[in-house]
Amino acid sequence: MRTPPKNEKQIIKTNLMISFCSLRDLLYVCNTKLRRMKDYLYYLFDFDLTLADSSKGIVMCFTNVLHRHGYEQVTEMEIKRTIGKTLEDSFAILTGVNNPEQLAAWKLEYTREADKYMNDNTVLFPETVEVLTKLKVLGCKIAIISTKYRYRIEGVMERYFPKGFIDVIIGGEDVKHAKPHPQGVKAALKKLKAKKELALYIGDSTVDAETARNTGIDFCGVLNGLTTREELAAYPHRQILNDLTLLPLLQKKGKHKKTWLPKRWEAKRRAYFIRQIRGLQEKPLENKQAHICQNCGDRYAGDYCPSCGQAAKTGRITLKSAFCNLFSSFFSIESGFLGTCYELIYRPGYMVKDFIQGKRSRYYKPFSLLLVMAALYLIAGHLLVPSSLGNSKEVKDNLENRLDSVFSEIVVVQEDSLEIKEDMVVTNEPKVPSLMDKMEDWYNEQMHEGTFLYALKDLLTGWVADNQAFLFIAIMPFYIFATKKVFRQTRTNQLLNVSEYVFIYGYFGSQIIMKDIVLLPFTGIVEAKSISSNIPFLGSTTIEFLLMMRNFKQLFNLGWWKAFKSTLKTFICLTLLFIGLVAIIALVIATLIVAFT
């Protein structure tokens, strides 16, 4: 059987996600009257540097044509500045030639070059697939209007989406007048049978902004290209975004959902939500002048050497610098322990998503964080709830006494079993006990104080209570299985593998232990004989459930109600898994009891 290539697998996954969207989403889409009050129904996109990064292919094609005709002084940045314009306009800007025949000849040469190199050097931006799929699930129509030829756009999009996923594509060959003329946008609106007030045009350049203004529809700018925020802000716009991630949340002007909060508080709430998604931003370079690294000798510009990582500022070692060096790696807000804890508090789902996508230098490693949290939990338990731990010498003596009585207990049990057998022979009263009776008798014999199994049980429960990190690592496979089962239809889950889930739950486990540390003064849960309150899947508290619900909401881009239902399903799945595990263990014990009695 032929194995489908990677592109076909991507298309199959996208089809499945659209087909299995929830009933709530379907009902939400069908209620178009309510949607028209606040949301856009038609999204019209530019292609180059809006949906896809084709700059490498464009620069390559322009460079080949220009160098062939002696224009070798044209830089890559100058070529990128012309993206979005027609080929004739681009060549005229780059060369200063205005002869229509010459420009047409260069355009023909560019087309031949593009047929060789363009599609292979064009990739969608990381957020494009997720955003477009989300819009389709919500029932929106999608169109692409570009000066690029339609067949090239179709070739790129078919690598990521099934055929027909994009409702309308208007290429350069479909119109007589290129952007900023409104002909292409009007043609797309006509094919979509859309009204202007329900449509939003998204682009990265001033040409796109002018096109939207000439058409009379709302415009949203994205900063994927070289056009600055200030240049786009000079035109009428609904919003200017860093990328497409927040696009599905954008609503029509003046039609926001009513809220009981004052306007000032509502603005702060929205700003807080945006900061949650973006997270901590990298600091700009403070030291742009050239330096020679004192460690490796390389020349560079910036705050740190790109070869060895040494800082540009390396003064004399003083008492202050020694103290800062000792604690900076642990208490660094930007890339250390406290910074990661801070983000785990207010944006855990977005933080782990950033970590998976490659933003890792600023965060503490997940399993190191888990072990540190477990150690802090144990220390906090000794300091805040010493009575629950008991006297260490007394605990040690008790354990030694119990272990000393192991062999004598085994002898006593053997003698008792012999006496029982002799009594059964003497009395000659055949009584066949049931399996449950045998299990109950065995439990009563083996689990009273002073027996080996009772001592082993106390030892294990005490170890588990003091080693929460290893406990969470042990139950992590159950969490991962339940999460992948419940969220199997979401786009984020389809992009994550099992190894990435292990790192995600490393952070979530640290968050749960952090919660336990905060609750220690109020609950005193550090008890060697009661570990059920320390295990997240047994007797889960409301706080733990709410924490996981918030984590899932941010990680999988869900609404509150859907996050609640999915979290409830996850905990139910966990419960069933552990019930099955306990049943298997009980079955094994019963089999052993029957075999040896």
pLDDT tens digits, one per residue of 176-230: 888 889 999 999 999 999 889 889 999 999 999 999 999 999 999 999 888 888 8
pLDDT single digits (tens) 493-552: 777 888 888 888 888 888 888 888 887 776 654 443 343 344 433 445 688 888 889 989
CA 592, distance to chain mean position in Å, is 46
Structural domain includes residue 7: no
pLDDT(339) > 50: yes
pLDDT(412) > 80: no
What predicted TM-score, i.e. pTM, was given to this entire model? 0.51
Structural domain includes residue 278: no
H-only helix segments in 20-80: 23-30, 32-36, 55-68, 76-80
DSSP secondary structure letter of residue 198: G
Is 554 in the same domain as 437?
yes
Torsion of CA 28, 550, 224, 44, to 10 degrees: 0
Is 108 in the same domain as 150?
no
- Which pLDDT value is given to residue 425? 46
- Which pLDDT value is given to residue 406? 47
- Which pLDDT value is given to residue 93? 87
Given the structure tokens 């990190």, which residue do they identify? 469
Structural domain includes residue 71: yes
Given the structure tokens 């969490």, which residue do they identify? 479
Which amino acid is residue 580, in one-letter code? G
Cα distances (Å, whole numbers) of residue 459 to 46, 526, 583:
65, 15, 23
Is 154 in the same domain as 194?
yes
Q: How many Å apart are CA 411 and CA 404, to the nearest integer? A: 13
Is 176 in the same domain as 69?
no
Is 364 in the same domain as 493?
yes
Structural domain includes residue 276: no
Long-range contacts of residues 285-294, Cβ cutoff 8 Å, at least 24 apart: 287/312, 287/313
Order of strands, sheet of 218-222, starting from the edge strand that comes earlier in the sequence: 168-170, 141-145, 42-45, 199-203, 218-222, 239-241
The torsion angles phi and psi of 239, rounded to 5 degrees, stand at -165, 155
Q: Of the candidates 70, 87, 121, which is a domain's last residue?
A: 121
Tell me whether the omega of the peptide bond preceding residue 4 falls within 30 degrees of 0, making it cis: no
For the domain that residue 90 is a member of, what is the CATH number? Answer: 1.10.150.240
Structural domain includes residue 265: no
- Which pLDDT value is given to residue 469? 63
Average pLDDT in the 259-275 region?
Answer: 72
pLDDT(297) > 90: no
- Which pLDDT value is given to residue 23? 38
Kindly state the tokens that stand for 338.
Answer: 């406290």
- Burial classification of residue 219, based on how many CB atoms lie within 10 Å of its CB (0-12 exposed, 13-18 middle, 19 or more buried): buried
Rounded to the nearest integer, the mean pLDDT of the chain is 75
- Which pLDDT value is given to residue 578? 85
Structural domain includes residue 421: yes
Better-scored residue on pLDDT, 515 or 145: 145
Is 162 in the same domain as 238?
yes
Is 214 in the same domain as 340?
no
Of the candidate ranges 5-14, 87-96, 184-193, 410-419, the one whose mean pLDDT is the lowest: 410-419
- Which pLDDT value is given to residue 144? 95
Q: Of the candidates 73, 94, 121, which is a domain's last residue?
A: 121
Is 61 in the same domain as 46?
no
Is 339 in the same domain as 299?
no
Cα distances (Å, whole numbers) of residue 406 to 414, 416, 449, 454, 456:
12, 15, 11, 10, 10
pLDDT single digits (tens) 364-386: 888 888 888 888 887 887 776 65
Could you list the residue range(s) of the whole structural domain that residue 158 is in? 32-50+126-258
pLDDT single digits (tens) 552-573: 988 888 888 888 999 999 989 9
Structural domain includes residue 212: yes
Is 143 in the same domain as 39?
yes
Total number of domains in the chain: 4
Is 109 in the same domain as 190?
no
436 pLDDT band (50/70/90 cuts)?
Answer: low
433 pLDDT band (50/70/90 cuts)?
Answer: low
Better-scored residue on pLDDT, 18 or 113: 113
Structural domain includes residue 248: yes
Please, what is the angle between helix 206-215 and helix 183-192, to 10°?
Answer: 60
DSSP secondary structure letter of residue 308: T
30 pLDDT band (50/70/90 cuts)?
Answer: very low
Is 204 in the same domain as 242?
yes
Q: Of the candidates 93, 121, 149, which is a domain's last residue?
A: 121
For the domain that residue 131 is a member of, what is the CATH number? Answer: 3.40.50.1000
